[in-house]
């Protein structure tokens, strides 16, 4: 059957070459001004005949059946369906129609099996994704925002208070949306710095963060605190990644009149790493 298909392909190629040759000859003769009406009609008639032969070969029932069988062997079920439909549509009186119909039934069963396997694999992937998410969030502390419908996830080592120094990431996961990362720097001390920007130093690198207008402040009778809280963009992502991969890092709070440096602790660096890893897992789920 494969040999028959190969012979048909070769034959069609030869017909196409002949058709091209006749058409090219016609153009050449016309260009030379040496073609008679009789010669022109003959060439056009021959070209039409070759086109008809090509169409006949194209929809040859034996060829289409052979192609469909090869498609099924190669698990190309969509192309097999196209060839079988073409056979039946263009050769309604062929004695191969019963075999084509039988192959279509086989094809239908194969596609149903393929669909079941796909759904089974999909369910397994979803289960595996859910397990990875559960494992990733196991080390997180969560807090549900009922008004906004968002669950916030923090590393368990990250402070839950605003009036303490901190450099951390956390995750927001809306009920009907995709998770996203947020970044927060907190300063607490005895004196106001009136922070308007930050500089993060990691090994030999330096990253500036403009926080003008975005720093919030509060105080009590003993302590003042200022914090900057933003959704992670490319700049913040690069900065945090550099902190995670550094051997040492610190943050400089740049205020209107004063500056103050603070070392980013190993505990904070590991928390950044865990939150980022958890985010990558749930974001890809």
Tokens of 62: 């034996």
Q: Per residue in 26-45, pLDDT tens?
A: 555 555 555 677 776 676 77
88-91-95 Cα angle (round to 5) = 90
Q: Per residue in 54-107, pLDDT tens?
A: 666 677 888 889 999 999 999 999 999 999 998 898 888 888 999 999 999 999
3-state helix, strand, coil in the chain (%, to 5): 55, 25, 20
As a whole number, mean pLDDT of residues 187-200 equals 96
Question: Is the per-residue pLDDT at 236 higher than 80?
Answer: yes
**14: number of Cβ within 10 Å:** 10
**49: number of Cβ within 10 Å:** 14
* φ, ψ dihedrals at 51, nearest 5°: -60, -40
Q: How many CA atoms lie within 13 A of 203 on its CB side?
A: 9
Q: What is the pLDDT of residue 146?
A: 92
Q: Where in the chain is the domain with CATH 1.25.40?
A: 2-116
Q: Kindly calculate the radius of gyration of the chain based on its CA atoms and give it in whole angstroms.
A: 36
Average pLDDT, the chain: 84
Is 41 exposed, middle or buried, given 0-12, 13-18 or 19+ CB atoms closer than 10 A? exposed
Provide the edge-to-edge strand list for the sheet that holds 166-174.
140-145, 150-155, 166-174, 180-189, 224-231, 215-219
As a whole number, mean pLDDT of residues 187-191 equals 95
pTM for the model stands at: 0.59
More confident residue, 13 or 133: 133
**82: number of Cβ within 10 Å:** 15
Question: Is the per-residue pLDDT at 257 higher than 60?
Answer: yes
**48 pLDDT band (50/70/90 cuts)?**
low
CB 107 within 8 A of CB 81: yes
What topology is assigned to 2-116 in CATH?
1.25.40
Long-range contacts from 68-73, C-beta under 8 angstroms, 24+ separation: 68/100, 68/103, 69/1, 69/103, 70/1, 70/2, 70/5, 72/103, 72/106, 72/107, 72/110
Which SS3 state, helix, strand or coil, does residue 169 take?
Answer: strand
Question: Could you give the CA distance from residue 183 to residue 228 in angstroms, rounded to a whole number?
Answer: 8
DSSP annotation string for 105-160: HHHHHHHHHHHHHHHHHHHHHHHHHHHHHHHHHTTEEEEEETTTTEEEEEETTS-S
Question: Could you give the CA distance from residue 257 to residue 190 in angstroms, rounded to a whole number?
Answer: 15
């Amino acid at each position: 059957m494969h040999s028959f298909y190969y012979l048909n392909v070769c034959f069609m190629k030869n017909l196409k070459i002949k058709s091209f040759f006749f058409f090219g000859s016609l153009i050449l003769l016309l260009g030379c001004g040496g073609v008679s009406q009789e010669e022109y009609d003959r060439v056009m008639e021959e070209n039409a005949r070759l086109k008809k032969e090509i169409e006949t070969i194209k929809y040859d029932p034996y060829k289409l059946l052979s192609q469909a069988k090869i498609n099924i062997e190669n698990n190309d079920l969509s192309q097999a369906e196209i060839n079988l439909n073409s056979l039946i549509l263009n050769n309604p009186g062929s004695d191969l129609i019963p075999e084509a119909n039988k192959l279509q039934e086989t094809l239908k069963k194969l596609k149903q099996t393929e669909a079941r396997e796909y759904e089974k694999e999909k369910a397994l992937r979803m289960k595996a994704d859910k397990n990875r998410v559960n494992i990733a969030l196991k080390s997180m502390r969560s807090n549900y925002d009922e008004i906004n419908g968002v669950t916030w996830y923090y590393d368990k080592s990250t402070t839950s208070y605003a009036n303490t120094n901190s450099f951390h990431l956390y995750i927001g996961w809306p009920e009907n949306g995709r998770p996203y990362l947020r970044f927060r720097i907190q300063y607490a001390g005895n004196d106001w710095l009136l922070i308007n920007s930050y500089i993060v130093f990691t090994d030999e690198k330096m990253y500036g963060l403009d926080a003008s207008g975005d720093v919030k402040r509060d105080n009590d009778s003993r302590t003042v605190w200022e914090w900057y809280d933003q959704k992670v963009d490319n700049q913040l992502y690069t900065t945090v990644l550099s902190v995670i991969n550094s051997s040492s890092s610190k943050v400089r709070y740049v205020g209107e009149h004063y500056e103050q440096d603070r070392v980013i602790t190993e505990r904070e660096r590991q928390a950044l790493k865990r939150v980022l890893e958890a985010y990558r897992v749930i974001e890809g789920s």
